[in-house]
Chain A
Amino acid sequence: MTTTGGPTVPPPQPGRLTTTTAPRKLTKAELRAAEAKTKLTSPWASSIAIVIAILWTIPTFGVLLSSIRPQASIQSSGWWTWFTNPEFTLDNYDQVLFGTGTAFSTFFINSVTIALPSVLIPVTLALLAAYAFAWIEFRGRDLLFVAVFSLQIVPLQIALIPLLQEYVNWGLAGSFWTVWISHSIFALPLAIFLLHNFMKDIPPSLIEAARVDGAGHVKIFFRVLLPLLVPAIAAFGIFQFLWIWNDLLVALTMAGGTPNVAPLTVRLAELSGSRGADWHLLTAGALVAIIVPLIVFLSLQRFFVRGMLSGSVKG
């Protein structure tokens, strides 16, 4: 951080803009560092922050710790007793993943099977639509865009039952197709809107240049825009993946009664209702369901945060 504002300025590079007037008061980094010192000295501020951080972490930690304790211990004592009486077992995971009554491994596969097309399809379709709205001129474009924009506020509940009736009508009920199609439809309005924002940010001169070179829209889309949009696509892709993996309502409606399609969340909610006392299964099960989004989230957090910021602050 501090290395950037060093006093030994390299020889002036041609073309590089040196915007800062030579001896500025303090660089941003230095200001912040100075302020950090004063901030930390307030004991109230730091203790409140620490209390919040603990409150936000402990519930998950408790479940994590419980999931590796033997069933008898989970049900007879709190997880905090682990510190005085450490025990370790993977039986809960074994039972939750492969046990006859739970079979989370099956539901895990279902979740994966649901997630990939449900991310790929809406992202692709939204990219194409966003391109059309941003860079193809045709009559009625603005009107159509406003229509898609306003579809964002339609809650998916309102579409659920007629959609289900149609699936029944076409003989698709209880298959993966219903979940894929539904998720794709519900994701489209927001996806088009967000990706359109990113598309609009690309300098028109780039598109213009490609056009003069004789590229058609399809070529411009694939050769010029797609490479530039990779960060935006990653951001929305992660968002959509988390949304799909964590969804309950759509899955429950479309595949609730079909164990061969239902994802982890449905099974977990079911388990929570019917076996409220089986904490050894619930804790391990919850972690099995959480682990994938957590890994995705932690490894790609940078993209996600950037996407979230640009999407929401730009409005």
Chain B
Amino acid sequence: MSETRPESDVAGGPSAAITTTEGAPPPPAHWRTGLKEGSTVWTVVLAVLGVVAIGGSVVFLLNAFGVLNIQLDRTTWPTWLVGATSTGGKLLLMVFAVILFVAVMTIVLLAADRAKRVSNRVVAAAFLGPAAIMLGLGLLYPAVRTIRESFFDRQSENFIGWDNYVTIFTQSGFQLVLRNTLIWVILVPIVATFIGLAYAVLVDRTRFESVAKGLIFLPMAISLVGASIIWKFVYEFRPDQEGVNQIGLANQFLVWLGFDPYQFIITSPWNTIFLIVVLIWIQTGFAMTILSAAIKNIPDDIIEAARLDGLSGFRMFRYITIPSIRPALVVVLVAITMTTLKAFDIIYTMTGGQFETSVVANEFYFQSFRQGNFGVGATLAVFLFVAVIPVVIYQVRQLRLAEEIR
């Protein structure tokens, strides 16, 4: 692969000029512009950019770990930059941010392109650098920090070992949170995948397939907050009195059927199930789309062969469809599981974590920002992280298996 390249590592060296004179066919017009000598100015710019990036990151980290003590506040920055209040001010700030970003990236790339004797390493650094810095300082460092905090007390002052972990596994309030999380993580992926699969099979190759799929798919565009409000309206409860009408559809159904209206959102423990319905409502469309595509990908000759062998209906589904779409099923189940683990919006919007409905993702927010208990909040975040790992390992192994069979 690498032999065909004109240069091994140096993208604009003197040897480029030599090859042009040797080549029998005339070189393309833009040959020279591509492999030009490079300019000193851009080399300097590139070096400066590198120093700024590395230096800035080092200062950031030193400050974060308390070696330096830089503390800025809002007044350091001009008001239009951090405190835009008018519509025009906000939109202008947005345009400014975009232009700033484009300008910085243009300079970085131009420098990487025009500088003298840039090795692949430097070009790669220019391409990767911005993303790497953001990930390193914005995700990796904070993650390490949070893991550390989980071993400290509520104000992150004293080291307390595994106490926070003991707390979340032994205190009854947290056990309830873990129990709820488990119910969510089991029910949402299975039910959403099941309904999605059933629906995909049912509407497959019918005349109104695209409309039918669109209806199920639509909730995916709705925010979890919006969906929560939509369902809160469905569950809305009005006391059963003379002259009071139900305005929520679910309770109206109960009344029509002759039952008393029911406090869907408040009555524990079943309220958790009714909140779960909301996420299932959203995730089914995702499951259906991917599974439907997988079903359509099953080669026709397999289906035909099975049909000749006398398979049809449910047996066809069980012995041909399911094994054929197994990789897609794994992907869907895993993806929904990971979404469910982190689901926070529904509970925050519908109950605020009250009425024994809290889950880990919600409790994390509540402990960190309402209770000011950073230690336990960090521990819950770490729990989320650790809980995801086995799911991912399962997915990777399953997909490897599928690849081997192929």
Contact = CB atoms under 8 A, between A and B. Distances in A.
B384 A297 contact: no
A290 to B, nearest CB: 5
A268 B27 CA distance: 63
B202 interface: yes
A173 B138 CA distance: 15
B183 interface: no
Contact of B132 (A39, A106, A129, A313): A129
B102 to A, nearest CB: 8
Interface stretch (B158-166, B174-182, B204-212, B267-275): B204-212
A124 B221 contact: no
A297 B97 CA distance: 26
Interface in B129-145: 130-132, 134-135, 138-143, 145
A126 B284 contact: no
Interface string B113-131: 1000000110110011011
Chain A to chain B: the 9 pairs with minimum beta-carbon distance, closest first: A214-B34, A246-B223, A171-B72, A297-B221, A162-B142, A185-B138, A159-B142, A132-B127, A175-B82
Given A59-B230, A312-B335, A185 B135 contact: yes
A51 B254 CA distance: 18
A303 interface: no
Interface of A: 28, 31-32, 35-36, 39-40, 45-46, 48-49, 52-53, 56-60, 62-63, 66, 74-80, 106, 109-110, 112-113, 116-117, 120-121, 124-126, 128-129, 131-133, 136-139, 141, 144, 148, 151, 153-163, 166, 169-177, 180-182, 184-186, 188-189, 192, 204, 208, 211-219, 221, 242, 245-249, 252-253, 260, 265, 268-269, 272-273, 276, 279, 282-283, 285-286, 289-290, 293-294, 296-298, 301, 305, 308-309, 312-313, 315
The interface centre, meaning the residue of A126, A162, A214 with most chain B CB atoms within 10 A of its CB, is: A214
A129 B128 contact: yes
A248 B344 contact: yes
Contact of A63 (B73, B141, B230): B230
Q: Output the residue of B75, B143, B252 with the most chain A CB within 10 A.
A: B143
Contact of B247 (A79, A192, A289): A79
Interface residues of B, number: 144
A248 B223 contact: yes
A309 B113 contact: no
Nearest to A265: B225
A313 B206 contact: no
B109 A218 contact: yes
Given A46-B202, A125-B130, A153 B389 contact: yes
